[in-house]
Structure 1
């Protein structure tokens, strides 16, 4: 078995110190890059959200006349009026297709609210 001399042991200890210093530098660099990566992900998410919002403005349903949309709403809500009850049994839960439609966008909400026949 090989046993290092004092000068070799001293050199090995210095190499260990150097390695520890290099590891600390890499850890610092990794931490910095992780911060950059997190910021890039946040910006990407922000741009994706903006792109999705812009894309929704071109949605074909926006071109439907409100009268046609009203007919679609009436057909989809017929027989499903808003039922709110205090009955704690499962059959007492809210069945509110109209309410769901009113939460899609402000235009739909305004239409649903201004159309009593949907309620």
Structure 2
């Protein structure tokens, strides 16, 4: 291009009427060239993107993890859950067993077929709104909303427990059951809101007791106003828990005359 004009671009030089058509022609030529370069760059970027995706696919095929035998991979899954005598972790999306089962189809198949991975069961419901500090303003409305959220979380926990207890199949279970079904300091309002929650708690107890014949170790911490609310667990007999060798019931349950069957 003509250096005569470019050298004057950063000065106060004013093109003459005769020079303006020449400058416009140069500009049009440059604009066409830039547009052409942009198209070439876009094509190169698209080609680079496709090549990068193919490169990633090759890396996946060559990943060392693909050569790890299933038995070794299962051992890695189990190691992520801690020692065999460690306390059960709360059921959640962050539980190592759940995380491993959500990586890919092959890992899910392996995780679901690794019974010990699911053999530790911690049933710990969220605190009910009645156990919280009363709301200073509009208590009924706020507690009612909190109760609805709590019931939704409890329903999810019941569904998750129903699925979880059968994944270990015949493998012995290590369980934690911690429920608070009574609150002596609750207000009349809180008691009114809490009245319908007992079936949700008893559903969890019934699910846990439905596999009592596979309990190996269990920690039980239940606070209830009436023994009838927890009959399922209080009436367990020795023959109902043939594998059980470690149990830690709370002191108030130990005092119950039915608890002797658990020890």
Scaled by the length of structure 2, the TM-score of the pair is 0.34
Instruction: Summarize the Cα distance change of 1:76–1:19 in structure 2 as closer, same or farther, 3 Å threshold.
Output: same
Aligned positions, number: 100
- Note the residue ranges of structure 2 that are not aligned, 5 or more in a row: 1-14, 119-263
Instruction: Output the CA distance in 1 between the equivalents of 2:99 and 2:59.
Output: 22
Instruction: Output the CA distance in 2 between the equivalents of 1:29 and 1:80.
Output: 67
Please identify, of 104-113 and 17-26, the stretch whose mean Cα deviation from structure 2 is larger: 104-113
Q: CA deviation at 1:81?
A: 4.8
**What residue in structure 1 maps to residue 237 of structure 2?**
none
Scaled by the length of structure 1, the TM-score of the pair is 0.67
Instruction: Output the CA distance in 1 between the equivalents of 2:55 and 2:29.
Output: 39
Q: Which has the higher strand share?
A: 2
Q: Which has the higher helix share?
A: 1
1:83 aligns with 2:95: no
How large is the Cα RMSD of the aligned pairs? 2.4
Instruction: Output the CA distance in 2 between the equivalents of 1:82 and 1:37.
Output: 52
- Note the residue ranges of structure 1 that are not aligned, 5 or more in a row: 1-10, 85-93
SS at match of 2:94: coil
Instruction: Summarize the Cα distance change of 1:23–1:80 in structure 2 as closer, same or farther, 3 Å threshold.
Output: farther
Deviations 1:29-58 (A, max 9, x none): 212211210221121121111112112212
Q: 1:20 aligns with which of 7, 20, 24?
A: 24
1:72 aligns with 2:76: yes
**What residue in structure 2 maps to residue 111 of structure 1?**
110
Instruction: Output the CA distance in 1 between the equivalents of 2:57 and 2:103.
Output: 13
